[in-house]
Chain A
Amino acid sequence: MKRILSIFKRDFKSSVREFLLLYIIIAPILLAVGLRFFIPSVNSISLQFALDSKLDQRVVEEFSRYGRVEIIDGIEAIKSRVNKVDDIVGVMQKEDGKYQLIMEGNEKGNYSFIPQQIISNITTDSQSVNKPSIAFSSIGINMPPIAIYGSSSIILMAIIFSGMVIGLNIIEEKEAKTIEALNVTPMQRLEFIAGKCLTAFTLPVFQAFIIIWILKLNNLNYSMLLIMTIASSFIAIIFGFLIGILSSNQIAGIANFKFLLLFVSASFVGAVALPASMQKFLYWSPLYWSTIGLINIVKNTASWLDIWTYSISILGLTFIIFIMFKGKIKKGLSA
C-alpha cells in the first residue's frame, strides 16, 4: 500500500508541476464555472419561494405544492436570499395580516403572478364564487437541458481527462526510462498499475462533486454519482494506459487523445441525439452507458437498478477492451 500511495503522490506532484497536466486537471472545473454563467440557477425552471418562518403551516404547505420552499427567519434574511443570483420570491405576512412579496425586480416572466395567485387561493373563502380557478401542470422538465447535458458532459470529460493524466505520466516514465529504475526495486507491476489507477479514481470523483457544487445540482443522488463516476473511471484507466504505452512522446500522446475524444464525443452525442430506436447501435460503447447514467443521475430519474445495469455494462465492456489490449499493456510496462 505504501508503494501504491507513493506512486500516486509522485504522479500528482509531477502533474501539478507541468502546465499541460495542470490544465487538464482544472479544465473541467473551469468549464463548470463557465457553464454556471449560462445557467444562473439550475433550479430556476421551477418556482422558488423564500417564506418567513412566522407564516402559518397551511401557507407553507400551499406554496410547497407549486415550487421549492425555503423557510427563512426575518425580513432581512429573506431580502438577502432574494438578492442572490437565482430567481426566488420572498413571502411574509405584515402585522395587519396582509401578505407581502419581496422580489428583486429582474425576475423572469410573470414570476410575481403565481405567488399572488397562491396567496389569493389561501385568502379567498373556499365557498366564494370569486375564487380564482388556477391549475398548474408540468411538462416533465425540471431542469434546463443546458444544465442536464452541460453538467453530465463536463463530468464525463473530467473522467476521461483523468485517463489522459495517467497516459501523460506513463509517457514521462517511458521517455525518462524511470520505469527501468522502478523495475529493479521490489515494486510489483500490480502496485505500479494500482498507483497509477488511484489518480483515475480520486481525481474524477473529486472533480465531479466540485462540478455539481459549482452548478448547484443539489438535488441529485450523490451515492449514484459516486458509483457511476468510479465505474466510468475504469474506461479512463484503460484509455490512459493505452495512450501511455502506444505513444512515444507527449505530442503523440496528445494526438492519440484527440482520436480518443472523437470516440467519447460520438458516444455522448449519439446517446443524447439519436432516437430511441437507434440507440442500440451504441450499446457496444462503455461511454454510451456512462453518458446515459450521468444524464439520468443529473435529471434525478435514475433508479438503483438502472445504475447497477449501467455500471455492469461499463465494467463488462471495459474488461473486453482490457483483454484485447492486455498483451500490449504488459509489454509496454516492461520496457
Chain B
Amino acid sequence: MIKVKNLYHSYSKDQNYAVKDVSFDISKGELFGFLGPSGAGKSTTQKILIGLLNLQKGHIQIDGKDIKQRSRDIFNHIGVSFERPNVYKKLTGIENLQFHSEMFSVTTEDPMTLLKLVGLEDAAHKKAGSYSKGMLQRLVFARSMINKPKIWFLDEPTSGLDPTTASIIKGIIKQKQQQGTTIFMTTHNMHIAEEICDRVAFITNGVISAIDSPRNLKLQYGERFVTIEYKKTDSLLSESLSIVDEAGKKRINEIISNYTVETMHTQEATLEDIFIKVTGKELK
C-alpha cells in the first residue's frame, strides 16, 4: 500500500539530511509504527508521504501510484491526524467536522457519530477554542476519520491524553485496522507501539536502524531474565539471571537446590529496552 525507497530530505537543501536513505514497505491493512525520539525524522517522513513537503530524492508509491504523479483525488482516501491540534477555534467541534467533510468528494462519516466515538458529544456545540488540550487532540483524531480513509496517518495520536482516553483511541485504531485500513503511526510511545503495531521501524538521526514486528525484535535483541528472591541464612537476597545463557541457567539451578526461594518472576525486555540497545539512544 505504501512503498518508500531511498528517501532523502534536507531542509537546507544540502548534504545535511533530516531523513537519510529511508526505505520501507507497508502492506494493505497493516499497522506500521514509526518510532523515534523528537527530531529523529518521523514527522519529516510523514510530511513527505502526505505531500506537505516536496519529495526531493527517493521514490514513494501510495496505493500503487507514484506520489509525484498523484492527483489530489487520492486525498479522498487518506486521513491525517496531526499531533498539533490544528482546528478552527472559532467554530464548534461539530462545525469543524462538517466543514472538513465538505472538502471531500466521497461519502463521509456523520460528524456526531465520530464525536461520540471519541467522547466529545457533550462538547459538540461548544467552540473548539474552549476545548482542553486532550479534547482538541480527540477532535483532530475524529476529523482524520471523516472521509473513511483507506490509508490513515497518525502523528502521536495519544499524546496529551489521559490513560482512559488513550485506551479508547487505541481501541479505535485497532478496530479500523481490523476493518482493513492501512495505518502509518509515528510515535515515541513504545508501550502503544508494542501493544498495537504489526511492525515497527526505529528511526534516529534520520536513519532507520531496524524494522520488524515487536515480537521478532524482542526475540532478536532481547534477553529474558528471571528475578529470584531467596533466603540465605537469615537474609533475603535477590538476583536477576538470564534464562538464555548457560551461566544463568546453572546459577538458577544452584539457587533452587540450595536455598529457600521466596519469589521468582520472569522478566521480558521491553521495546524501549530494545530501542536503546539497537539505536544507542533513549526515547525523549
Contact surface of A with B, Cβ cutoff 8 Å:
2-3, 6, 10, 13-14, 17-18, 172, 176-178, 180-188
Contact = CB atoms under 8 A, between A and B. Distances in A.
Contacts of B100: 181, 185
A185 B71 CA distance: 11
A14 B103 contact: no
23 contacts: A3-B102, A6-B102, A10-B99, A13-B90, A13-B91, A17-B127, A172-B88, A172-B90, A176-B86, A176-B89, A177-B82, A178-B87, A181-B100, A183-B51, A183-B52, A184-B52, A184-B75, A184-B78, A185-B75, A185-B100, A186-B76, A186-B103, A186-B104
A13 B104 contact: no
Interface in B64-105: 72-76, 78, 80, 82, 84, 86-91, 95, 99-100, 102-105
A180 B52 contact: yes
Contacts of B102: 2-3, 6
Contacts of B147: 185
Contact of A188 (B72, B99, B127): B72
B50 interface: yes
Nearest to B101: A6
Contacts of A18: 90
Contacts of B51: 183-184
B176 interface: no
Given A6-B102, A14-B90, A180-B86, 4 more contacts: A18-B90, A177-B84, A186-B74, A186-B103
B143 interface: yes
A259 B107 CA distance: 46
Contacts of B90: 13-14, 17-18, 172
Which interface class (under 10, 10 to 19, 20 to 34, 35 or more) fits B?
20 to 34
Contact of A182 (B76, B78, B89, B103): B103
A10 B75 contact: no
A184 B89 CA distance: 19
Contacts of B127: 17
A14 B88 contact: yes
A238 B232 CA distance: 85
A2 B104 CA distance: 10
A187 B72 contact: yes
Interface in B103-121: 103-105
A22 B15 CA distance: 49
B128 to A, nearest CB: 9
B55 to A, nearest CB: 14
Interface of B: prevailing SS: loop
Nearest to A3: B103
A13 to B, nearest CB: 7
Interface of B: 50-52, 72-76, 78, 80, 82, 84, 86-91, 95, 99-100, 102-105, 127, 143, 147
Contacts of A2: 102
Interface of A: prevailing SS: helix
B103 A10 contact: no
A180 B155 CA distance: 13
Nearest 7 pairs between A and B by C-beta?
A: A185-B103, A177-B86, A6-B102, A184-B80, A17-B90, A14-B90, A186-B75
A13 B80 CA distance: 25
A142 to B, nearest CB: 46
B104 A181 contact: no
A181 B86 contact: yes
A182 B82 CA distance: 12
A264 to B, nearest CB: 28
A181 B73 CA distance: 15
Contacts of B143: 181
A10 to B, nearest CB: 5
Contacts of A172: 88, 90
Q: Which of A18, A176, A182, A185 has the most CB of B within 10 A?
A: A185
Contacts of A183: 51-52
A10 B91 contact: yes
A13 B73 contact: no
B193 to A, nearest CB: 23
B42 to A, nearest CB: 16
A14 B91 contact: yes
Contacts of A188: 72
Nearest to B54: A334
Contacts of A6: 99, 102-103
A181 B87 CA distance: 8
Nearest to B127: A17
Contacts of A17: 90, 127
A8 to B, nearest CB: 11
Contacts of A181: 80, 82, 86-87, 100, 143
A22 to B, nearest CB: 11
Nearest to A10: B99
